Amino acid sequence: MGILKKSSYSQLNLLQKKLSSIGEKGWFDIFFTSKYRYIELKIPHYDYLRGKVFIEDIIDLYEEEEDEVLNISINHLIDILYTDFLSKIKKGVTNDDKNEVNYGVIANYLVSKQQKYFSLPVSQKRIMKKVNTNLFTFQTVEEEIPLKDDDEEQHVYLTLKIKDAALLRGEVFLHDLSPYLEDHSIQIEDVIIILYMDFIEKIKENGNNLAVMKAIVNRLN
């Protein structure tokens, strides 16, 4: 795997902390633990509300069929999405009929989604550029629009409880993925938000999927 870069793959930088404690604890204590951690996610307010509506739809569906109260939240949904992602990575994403992870495909996916969901809005303007003493030309340039104070109010901050082992597995995966990310920096929080945002995008485009809703309930049970 090569020399481990001093990169932070999550807010907690768990991988580096685990490696730095190898001399103090045994390998079993480092990689097999049931401890929980807490990370913070920043989600656009509308997409947060859309997720809450989807959760309410699941609760309504469940109560109609089972006549019971279902205890589910957006945090549960996010945890399921992340757990499924780790499961797919663990099993291996097929690449040309080989049972291996296609890091290039995953890196392209994460980078493109990161640019889609996290980039600042861009404005275009025309500027006059001097070609020579007597000649000028117009050129269109793009510049990012800085966030205003009220833009911050358009986001919701969620605190997610996550298993120590799940966070560590995600950081190890991002370290393995880092050669394919080139100059892009992605943390576990980014991955989790991307998974959630992509899920909400599908809900917006296609509406509720009954099979998906029941699968989520089964996972909770």
Report pLDDT digits (tens) over 161-200.
999 899 999 999 999 999 999 888 999 999 999 999 999 9
Band of the pLDDT at 145, cuts 50, 70, 90?
very low
Give the separation between CA 40 and CA 178, rounded to whole angstroms. 22
Query: What is the per-residue pLDDT for 23?
Result: 52
CA dihedral angle for residue 104, residue 205, residue 115, residue 212, rounded to 10 degrees: -50
Q: What percent of the chain has pLDDT over 70?
A: 69
Lookup: tokens for 51: 């997720």
The pLDDT mean for the chain works out to 79
Q: 127 pairs with which residues across the strands?
A: 139
Q: What percent of the chain has pLDDT over 90?
A: 41
Give the separation between CA 109 and CA 196, rounded to whole angstroms. 14
Region 61-84: mean pLDDT is: 82
Query: What is the per-residue pLDDT for 61?
Result: 83
Provide the residue ranges of all domains of the chain, joining segments of one domain with +: 34-102+155-220
| Lowest-pLDDT choice from 2-16, 52-66, 74-88, 106-120 | 2-16
Band of the pLDDT at 2, cuts 50, 70, 90?
very low
- Write phi, then psi, for 147 (nearest 5 degrees): -70, 140
Query: What is the per-residue pLDDT for 13?
Result: 87
CA dihedral angle for residue 103, residue 167, residue 1, residue 30, rounded to 10 degrees: -160
